Structure 1
Amino acid sequence: MYRYKFVEATIGGVFSEPSYRQIIDEHAKDGWKLVQVLPINYNGHGKPKSYEVILEQVVNEDAEE
């Protein structure tokens, strides 16, 4: 069985770095695996402003019994 986590990430800009790589690296240390990155907010020109990072983690089914 899996559980999922949804984390909003910034795309970055002229003065800031995108945050999705940091989010993925931080969660990987705790056993989370990247599933997908989806754009969620768009500007007036159709360019994504932010993303949702979808992560999954295996749930130990033996521990639940």
Structure 2
Amino acid sequence: MKEYKFEKLELKSFSREPKEDYHEIIREAAKDGWELVQIFAPGTSSYGAASFFEIIFSRDVD
């Protein structure tokens, strides 16, 4: 069985760059046994551009 964790990463309004270092978020999650599944960017703001990323992790449940 798996459990999942979702990290929401906001983007800067004009440059659309992440407000945080997503590489570091992934590294820190991996230290706790989480495995990256997907980085999802829904088109939710003007012109269909994403306003945030959602980083999805999973790990086995004992």
TM-score interval, normalised by the smaller of the two chains: 0.7 to 0.9
Are 1:5 and 2:5 matched, yes or no?
A: yes
Distance 1:20 1:53 in 2: 9
**Residue 37 of structure 2: SS of its match in structure 1?**
strand
What's the % identity of the aligned pairs?
Answer: 33
Question: Which residue pairs with 1:26 in the alignment?
Answer: 28
Residue 19 and residue 10 in structure 1: after superposition, are their counterparts in 2 closer, same or farther (change >3 A)?
A: farther
Number of residue-to-residue matches in the alignment: 60
Distance 1:52 1:15 in 2: 14
**Counterpart-to-counterpart distance in 2, 1:57 and 1:38:** 18
Letter paired with 1:55: F
**Larger-gyration structure (1/2):** 1
List structure 1 runs of 4+ shifted beyond 4 angstroms: 14-18
- List alignment gaps of at least 5 residues for structure 2: none
Cα RMSD after superposing both structures: 2.4
The runs of 5 or more residues in structure 1 that have no matched partner are 61-65
Which of the pair is proportionally richer in strand?
Answer: 1
> CA separation in 1, counterparts of 2:17 and 2:54?
21
CA contact (8 A) 2:7 2:54 kept: yes
